[in-house]
Amino acid sequence: MLPWIYLGVAGLLETCWAIGLKYSQGFTKPIPMIFTAVTLILSMILLARAADSLPIGTAYAVWVGIGAFGAAVLGIVLFHEPVTPLRVFFLVMLLGAIIGLKATSSS
């Protein structure tokens, strides 16, 4: 179970660094730039730890999925990105894919 916890936290940290990129304004703002770099490094470390036990294809897909889902939702909340029925539908599908990969994993 620990590798999945590492992977979940790594995915949340990926969301953090993705949002940090937006706040860093092209790496011109020092504090968001440092936040982005630190969360990126921690995310990669935890992904690597999870991949020690989980299949890399599953680990990477779940990591990217969590990060993409989180970044899309936070983009809507923080940056007032558009919310359309199709966008919501595909975000739900992405969430379903993440859950499906976890449910069908043998680890």
Q: What is the pLDDT of residues 70-101, one digit of tens each?
A: 999 999 999 999 999 999 999 999 999 999 99
Please state, in angstroms and rounded to a whole number, the distance separating the CA atoms of residues 33 and 12: 17
Judge whether 65 and 11 are in contact, CB under 8 Å.
yes
pTM exceeds cut of 0.85: yes
Q: Which residues contact 30 (CB under 8 A, 6 or more apart)?
A: none
